[in-house]
Amino acid sequence: MFFAHSTEDTSCSDWQLLHRHLIDVAELAAQFAVVFGAERATRLAGLLHDLGKYTPAFQARLTGALEKVDHSTAGAAETFTLVSAIADRAMAELIAYAIAGHHAGLPDRIGDGSLAERLKKQLEPLDPSWRDEIAPDAVGLMPDFEWSKDKDKAAFQLGFLGRMIFSCLVDADFRDTEAFYDGVKGEKKDREWPALGTIIDPLIACFEVHIADKQSGGTASKVNQLRGEILAHVRAKASEATGLFTLTVPTGGGKTLASLGFALDHAKKNGLERIIFAIPFTSVIDQTASVFREVLGDEFILEHHSAIDFNSAAKENEFREKFEGNSLEAKLRLAMEDWAAPIVVTTNVQLFESLFANRPSRCRKLHNLARSIIILDEAQTIPLPLLRPCVAALDELARNYGISIVLCTATQPALAAPEFEGGLVLGSKQELAPDPPGLARALKRVEIASGGEMSDDDLVAALRDNGQGLVIVNSRKHALALYKAAKAAGLDGVVHLTTRQYATHRREILADVRHRLKKKLPCRLIATSLVEAGVDVDFPRVWRAEAGLDQIAQAAGRCNREGERPVGESIVTIFKAPENPPPREIGQLAADFVRMADKHQDLLSPDAMRDYFGEVYWRKGDRLDAKKILEDFRLNRDETNFAYRCVAEKFRMIESGMVPVIVARDEAARDALGELAWEKAYPGAVARKLQSFIVQVPPKARNLLIANRHVRFEQEKRFGDQFAVLVTGSFYKPEIGLIWEDADYLGLEQPAI
């Protein structure tokens, strides 16, 4: 007999039979892939993925032998032997990529550690009994997709399908293995969520009750009336077939609730299986998730984002190696959210980096995107150097995986503009909002003015003349300097908001800001651009350092937000800071704005925004795929040349080069850190609890903090450098945040937190 997994029972009576594991994984993987028509290919991948375990060497490994065994390559090689039909040759390659990478990650086609190199290895012969035990079927593997006639686009589509097959395989493998070990222990993890179709009517009922309460309790203002009209119009379009949509609603127009209402109705009309909200900033995700929980309850909502990536490639490989040595704990630590929940609130980083990932832990969720609706909030924030590959992925999701995608923003990024070659194709019925230009006029609440050059003294003088005002600058350094200048000038109600402060603390600061604004108390907020990320504040005056038009529009959304003040008195002043010039990229976007500004009377109109993005795309050209991601998917005659590993390494939505420091001032953070001392600590769960208590700092600064014992790694022997905790409490000042510039100061006072 051949086994897939062993236990401590040396009689082997409760070990998992290999053919049982292969068949169960195959059936589960096929079940995952039915929704996009690739069940035959994924079933074959499941049957062959552990074929290399049909060898004496691997069976000896299960009984304690120390010699490592490559059990993945055999199945990849056998795929080509089984698949004889030319029509399925490309599918055979995709299956081979998936099998070869189901432990270490999807490989490149050529190069070190590549699929080509793996297929040349001399492997131990397989016991011939495998053919009778699993009886693989290797015909009809190609799904009925809408394939592009353009060879390069077709190559990307095929590469994308390979990653989806991989997702089905690794998720099925994880689940079956976990179920086996749970059975051995007499346990069963509750990983099942209700199907969206079984709860959609109650969710819609909850939504309608919330809207009715909101409308009955709100004021009959023009803005509230427009919000109601927008919501009704958007929901009326929910019966449209799945595809690509835009929702262009000015800030304050209620697009969050409108998008949720559309998602619920659209999912019901089209039988969709999941609702996914992708949000660009972690500073907003808690706010959005709390709104959804208020409306729908928290029973069906999964919130997935993390500032500490426990499942790094190095850690994942370490645990896998331990697992091959039969460590149950190592395998179970690999379990991550697979996005099986009916409603998922996540970040753009989690979504897009997973779509271009190669690691099993990052890819296992991807098949659960099929037959879903994805709401991309603030769609204009997709990084320009990655815009083309991101758009290609969105197009493919909508084209062949039954997914609806809503680009939801006040500043549509014009992804269908002529200047954006290869952009999205949007039909006339795909705008969900009623008359976006008319909405922009009706919801106009501010005037844009030019302030020219303004020094910090000029800004302080402007704040002195206004009891309530918001200044947004382009760097943490400038925000801190301006805050200190305003305090030194004796201004009342000066508040500093920056990513030097951890997220939970920022929420407390913003709650105080809203209280001050409501009570007409002095409130002069100095902030970085994080305040533009959907933060609900309403100032009478705003000053914004030069930037692109989309950022200016977001800043304008913090001025006269409720429309209760005269438009002519609600001024957003754009200024240049000669002593603090913007970073290069922001400076270029500011120049794009200047080139088109004179062409439009209303700079916040959809036409102006379209013109602005046209300028940006024209200037960027092929740098909208700056890392040549799309060029890493090629078809060479009858063979693929996909660089999955290379793409995963290059595709990074955030490249700040910063590292985290945990600030455990709050009891919740201290309690979470305490869990790391538990015998069966789950660092992934702890990391998620700590994500709102993190400040990102430059690596050199953190190294100095560590060297001078101001920061230490919690439980370093067990978890390495995952949990860097601030020890010297005086380095975190509530009004300023974490000051790392003094990291080399060797003070005597180093109280433990």
CA angle 369–373–374, rounded 5-degree value: 80
Q: Are residues 207 and 178 in the same domain?
A: no
HEC string of 621-635? HHHHHCCCCHHHEEE
Which is higher by pLDDT, 387 or 655?
387
Question: How far apart are the C-alpha atoms of 96 and 107, rounded to whole Å?
Answer: 10
Identify the DSSP state of 429: G
Stated pTM of the model: 0.88
Per-residue pLDDT of 318-362, as tens digits, reads 444 444 434 434 333 433 468 888 999 888 988 999 999 999 989
How many domains in the chain?
Answer: 4
Q: What is the CATH number of the domain that holds 99?
A: 1.10.3210
Instruction: Name the packing angle between helices 667-675 and 683-690 (round to 10°).
Output: 170
**Residues 711/702, Cβ–Cβ less than 8 Å:** yes
CA 315/CA 313 separation, integer angstroms: 6
Say if CB 397 and CB 535 are below 8 A apart: no
End position of a domain, from candidates 535, 570, 602: 602
Mean pLDDT of the chain: 89
Predicted local distance difference test score (pLDDT) of residue 84: 75
Q: Nearest-5° angle of CA 266, CA 534, CA 368?
A: 40
Tokens of residue 588, six digits: 């270029």
Same domain, 325 and 449: no
Question: Is 354 within the bounds of a domain?
Answer: yes
- CA end-to-end distance (rounded Å), the chain: 56
Q: Is residue 426 part of a domain?
A: no
Q: Are residues 594 and 666 in the same domain?
A: no
Residues 19 and 91 occupy one common structural domain: yes
DSSP one-letter string for 683-725: HHHHHHHHGGGEEEE-HHHHHHHHHTTSEEETTHHHHTTS-EE
The answer to whether residue 212 sits within a structural domain is yes
Q: Is residue 365 part of a domain?
A: yes
- 302 pLDDT more than 60: yes
pLDDT at 656: 63
Please indicate, yes or no, whether residues 300 and 333 belong to a single structural domain of this protein: yes
| CA distance to 37, 366, 394, 399, 510, per residue, from 371 (Å) | 12, 11, 13, 11, 38
Give 530-556 pLDDT, tens digit per residue.
Answer: 888 778 899 999 999 999 999 999 999
Does residue 43 sit in the same domain as residue 63? yes
Dump the DSSP string for 35-62. Answer: GGT-HHHHHHHHHHTTGGGSSHHHHHHH
pLDDT of residue 427: 64
Q: Does residue 319 contact residue 333 with C-beta atoms inside 8 Å?
A: yes
**Are 253 and 212 contained in the same domain?**
yes
**499 part of a folded domain:** yes
Whether residue 129 is contained in a domain is answered as: yes
User: 471 has which bridge partners?
Assistant: 526, 543
156 and 277 both lie in a single domain: no
To the nearest 10 degrees (0 to 180), the angle between helices 348-355 and 387-400 is 80
- Same domain assignment for residues 200 and 85: no
Angle at 653 between CA 652 and CA 656, to 5 degrees: 85
128 shares its domain with 8: yes
CATH of the domain at 521: 3.40.50.300
Encode pLDDT of 571-609 as tens digits: 999 999 999 999 999 999 999 999 999 999 999 999 999
Query: What separation in angstroms does the CA of 328 have from each of 5, 7, 191, 331?
Result: 10, 9, 18, 5
pLDDT at 455: 97
Name the pLDDT band for 68 (thresholds 50, 70, 90).
confident
Last residue of a domain, one of 150, 185, 220: 185
Whole domain around residue 130: which residue ranges? 3-185
Residue 631 lies in a domain: no
Query: Comparing 659 with 107, which gets the higher pLDDT?
Result: 107
> How many H helices and E strands in the chain?
29, 22
> Does a structural domain hold residue 560?
yes
Between 446 and 88, residue with greater pLDDT: 446
Q: Which H/E stretch holds residue 744?
A: none
% the chain with pLDDT above 90: 70
Q: What is the pLDDT of residue 414?
A: 79
On whether both 397 and 278 belong to a single domain, the answer is: yes
- 382 and 483 share one domain: no
